Structure 1
Amino acid sequence: MLKTFAARFGHCAKGLARDRSGVSVVEFAIITPFILSIALYGLEVAYMNSVDMKISEIALSLADNASRIGQTDNSVVTPTVSEADINEVMRGAQEQAAGLDFATRGRIILSSLERDAATGKQYIRWQRCYGQLSRQSAYGNDSTQNGLNGAALAGMGSGPTKITASANSAVMFVEVYYQHHGLMGDLFVDNPVMRKEGAFLIRDNRNLTPGVTGTGGAYPCG
């Protein structure tokens, strides 16, 4: 009986060794994790790039909109920048950032870069901010480090050539910071703090002397 069992076991073993019916299933089970990982990595990178592009668009749009403040003012008085104007352009940026939880994970810094008539120095006349992310301007503030107080300000911009304001004009300079959160956390990519800049020269004549006029400003940088 032992010989019969051994013969049957040997026959079954040979048959199993010749059986190829489950090879494709086994191969698929082996390569599926690799294929899935590549697909998820591609999805994560595509999402990060789309968020990066959105942050860049917010910076450029806000700088552009701020540069147009007072452009439609038909009064004979040269317009100023008011707190209400700043509130409007900041609300526009918030709408553009919808879906990104920007209020918690982002920071917008809008600066008015101007040239001081008395000294010819570049300085930050005023600055307004939005978002709770703990970030400060890379170039200074509108008080103790504005270019007239503290270190001299050669201009603004991360490139080799700094952006400067000419006499009797101003540059609306925007810095946007955003703490990126991946679709799958940091499984495939790090979650960097994205940073983008945008700058536009003001479009029309603007009365720069009083700085920001009016009350009700909702976006202090303090």
Structure 2
Amino acid sequence: MSVRKRLARLGRRFWRDARAVSAMEFALGMPLVLAFGGYGIEICNLAVTNMRVSQYALQLADNASRIGVNTGLATYQLREGDINDALQGLRLFSSNVKLTTYGRITVSSLENVEQSYDDDNVQRIHWQRCVGLKSGAGFDADSAQAPGTSAGSDGTSSTAGKSAPDGIGDAGQKVQAPDNSGVIYVEVNYQYQPLFGTVFVAPTKLHYVASVIVRDKRDFSQIYNPTPTASPSTCNKYTA
């Protein structure tokens, strides 16, 4: 038998041989299944993380709007320890995404009240407190809105904070405080941690804000720090 006929016969046998069809289909299809499956998982994880980060911002704003100790004079004093407790709560319930490791959280008190050194109500960012390791543009709050690390530490005009007649927040989305009251404004910036690196999504920063009106009749004159004193979580500190 000639070589040509042998090759033709071998080709016909190979064409009719169906024993490895499933293995071939699996080998050819698996890369596509893995690619589409991985992409779907990554997008779902990104969506869930977006929802979680937005809820963390809202939860912290709500908690910070309620904290304080009753003075017996129908007002509630806000203490450094109370703020630290609220931030610690954030650490605990956001540990699944390591929010304070890969993010930066800023809590601001926007107040529209008349202090002892004012002649009328003044809207100002009275104080800010922060937590999180990330720093720099896109993570730290707008420096133009920063009241300073000593702001709110006592009831004097030197620590009054920063005037904010237009309110606080992103351009076109600024929040105003009601007369004779205040708003707790929380900004969260978080570097999303993808499951598959940058294979399916580019590096993504999540940005969410939340604001809640202070619930009780708060003493807005200052943040108190009675003995034993607590270390203020001022925005010049970067801790997880």
- Shorter chain as normaliser: what TM range? 0.7 to 0.9
State the distance in 2 between where 1:30 and 1:36 align.
Answer: 11
What SS does structure 2 have at the residue aligned with 1:219?
coil
Percentage of identical aligned residues: 33
Q: Which string of whole-angstrom CA distances, capped at 9 and with x for unpartnered residues, describes residues 65-96 of structure 1?
A: 111113x7272352221101101111111111
State the distance in 2 between where 1:15 and 1:28 align.
Answer: 22
Letter in 1 for 2:108: S
Structure label with greater radius of gyration: 1
For structure 2, which runs of at least 5 residues remain unmatched after alignment?
152-160
Aligned partners of 2:113 and 2:181 also within 8 Å:
no
Equivalent residues in 2 for 1:12-31, closer than 5 Å: 12-31=10-29
State the distance in 1 between where 2:5 and 2:54 align.
Answer: 74
Q: Is residue 2:137 matched to residue 1:136?
A: no
Query: What residue number does 2:234 align with?
Result: 220
For structure 1, which runs of at least 5 residues remain unmatched after alignment?
none
Query: What residue number does 2:213 align with?
Result: 201
State the distance in 1 between where 2:121 and 2:26 align.
Answer: 71
Equivalent residues in 2 for 1:54-69, closer than 5 Å: 54-69=52-67
What SS does structure 2 have at the residue aligned with 1:208?
strand
Kindly state the Cα deviation for residue 21 of structure 1 after the two structures are TM-superposed. Answer: 3.5
Letter in 2 for 1:132: L
Query: What residue number does 2:169 align with?
Result: 157
Letter in 2 for 1:193: K
Query: What residue number does 1:167 align with?
Result: 179
Query: What residue number does 1:97 align with?
Result: 94
Q: Is residue 2:37 matched to residue 1:39?
A: yes
Q: Is residue 2:203 matched to residue 1:191?
A: yes
State the distance in 2 between where 1:178 and 1:93 align.
Answer: 14
TM-score by length of 1: 0.86
TM-score by length of 2: 0.80
Aligned partners of 2:71 and 2:77 also within 8 Å:
no
Letter in 2 for 1:65: N
State the distance in 1 between where 2:198 and 2:165 align.
Answer: 37
Kindly state the Cα deviation for residue 208 of structure 1 after the two structures are TM-superposed. Answer: 0.6
What SS does structure 1 have at the residue aligned with 2:76?
coil
Aligned partners of 2:106 and 2:188 also within 8 Å:
yes
Q: 1:158 to 1:91 in 2, by over 3 A?
A: same
State the distance in 1 between where 2:131 and 2:189 align.
Answer: 10
Kindly state the Cα deviation for residue 52 of structure 1 after the two structures are TM-superposed. Answer: 1.3
Kindly state the Cα deviation for residue 185 of structure 1 after the two structures are TM-superposed. Answer: 0.8
Letter in 2 for 1:127: Q
Q: Which string of whole-angstrom CA distances, capped at 9 and with x for unpartnered residues, describes residues 22-59 of structure 1?
A: 33332322121111100011111111111111111110
